[in-house]
Structure 1
């Protein structure tokens, strides 16, 4: 039987109208990729750990609901996951565990097909759960699934910033473009941050970004792309994955760690949200507004 906390979320609520106003709002960043294998989870996890290491109160959400692996990458052993929340076995607060640098982690479950097949209303329900989380946070990093499923689109739409991770393979570039097109045309997202991953050097990263940018400029004139940076191919990163440790902690002087720290510094400098509301600023309000619902 679904928990009271989760069950109420598939029904529209007054949102934050009755909650107190905190001094600041939470910046939410969705990290995604057009296809699997581009390294988006490594980017998500290490960026969140890096932000926490910079003093940012950071929450990392594993939103790859059917094939989750954030907990594996960070060497964590969660007692509960989002699957337990949906099944009513725990509350959201009980799902949250602490990871490296004090980053808060919300793990999902791996190999649970029913989680990968949640209905659209249930995806909105999960977003609503996080909008009501009572935590003092600065940043929320959301590691989405790959592809263009409803869950990916909903989490990207709910976030303030979407980061698309791409690598220098034709399929990756093609799928990244397809994802950006769907995000723009179906969800109204017109600003995308791009991270070039597993490149040989900074020049290759910039060239990869320009390939994707040219295609978008030609066919998606209303979408603005921004180059957030690149992460080099690095054996230290591969070793950190094998050891189930974030590379920014295990090998902080490695090329990959230095690159991800720089990407985290850039995101930390983004202008803070201008409209603070209660709980986590995860913008269920934005979804409802774009569907014509007054909140």
Structure 2
């Protein structure tokens, strides 16, 4: 993973997603990003939940600008970057602005493009997506090198995770997904959740699932959330903090998938080519 090889290196982009809300996805994103920073990685945490953003709230930050201001032309993307704990960089999304949930596909692509142009030296970008299978979620997952799907022990969580993986695989060509079990009672429960999901995906989809591990249900994590801090910073020796550090260590060892799929630049070239072809076809028909 491009650690320490200079600002010109392409950062690793990790998209965190979930089929349904309420599985602790934003908490996972924050603690994964905080663990990566603590391990010496220059990390940016991007909140792309355009309607119900809450990364800044969960870290007790007061943003001057959000992505809504970028889309309205009030500021550049660079102006939205907040300094979080220990040097973690954060780009906040807008909360309670319904029009931000109705962005067009090309606006999501434009946002991916803007991030690929950022003049900030980074090793990793962690993208906290909205729950579900909206276009923006799919676009950011497609642009990432790795997709982490968060599940918990609820039937709807597994069903909806499968639906998300199916759409990513069939519509966006994603061939590899990391699965993280959250809020588990014990390690066996986490492994069982993964196996349940893997049984259906291996039967019906051409996608490889990797088990990233499990985060235990932990009172210290709840206290950290109340304190508006990452648990890895507030209670570094708690069971959930140790689990997050372990997950971050594994994430740093990931190899990029073979071929160029996943790199933001390649992703953009492909999208631009597709858009150009569509424009040419329209011109020819006119």
After TM superposition, the score normalised by the length of structure 1 is 0.87
Q: How does 1:128-139 map to 2 (within 5 A)?
A: 128-139=113-124
The aligned residue for residue 186 of structure 2 is 201
**Aligned residues of 1:59 and 1:141 also touching (Cα < 8 A):** yes
**Does 1:36 pair with 2:17?**
no
**Aligned residues of 2:47 and 2:53 also touching (Cα < 8 A):** yes
The aligned residue for residue 236 of structure 2 is 252
Distance apart, 1:263 and its partner CA: 0.3
- Out of 136, 139, 155, the residue aligned to residue 140 of structure 2 is 155
Q: How does 1:1-295 map to 2 (within 5 A)?
A: 23-220=8-205, 222-271=206-255, 283-286=264-267, 288-289=269-270, 293=274
Distance apart, 1:124 and its partner CA: 0.5
**Aligned residues of 1:60 and 1:140 also touching (Cα < 8 A):** yes
What is the total number of aligned residue pairs between the two structures?
A: 270
Give unmatched runs, 5+ long, in structure 1: 1-20
Summarize deviations over 1:140-184 as a string: whole Å, max 9, x none. 000000000001100100111100000011000000000000000
Q: Distance in 1 between matches of 2:18 and 2:258?
A: 28
Change (3 A) 1:23 1:254: same
Higher relative CO (Cα under 8 Å, sequence separation at least 6) belongs to 1
Change (3 A) 1:130 1:290: closer
Measured on the aligned residues, the alpha-carbon RMSD in Å equals 2.1
Q: Distance in 2 between matches of 1:274 and 1:34?
A: 26
Distance apart, 1:290 and its partner CA: 6.7
Q: Distance in 2 between matches of 1:170 and 1:272?
A: 31
Q: Distance in 1 between matches of 2:143 and 2:59?
A: 25
More helix by share: 2
The aligned residue for residue 17 of structure 1 is none
Q: Distance in 2 between matches of 1:89 and 1:282?
A: 29
Distance apart, 1:92 and its partner CA: 1.2
After TM superposition, the score normalised by the length of structure 2 is 0.90
**Aligned residues of 1:198 and 1:232 also touching (Cα < 8 A):** yes
Change (3 A) 1:139 1:104: same
**Aligned residues of 1:236 and 1:254 also touching (Cα < 8 A):** yes
Report SS of the residue matched to 1:197: strand
Summarize deviations over 1:207-244 as a string: whole Å, max 9, x none. 11111011111111x10000011101111111111111
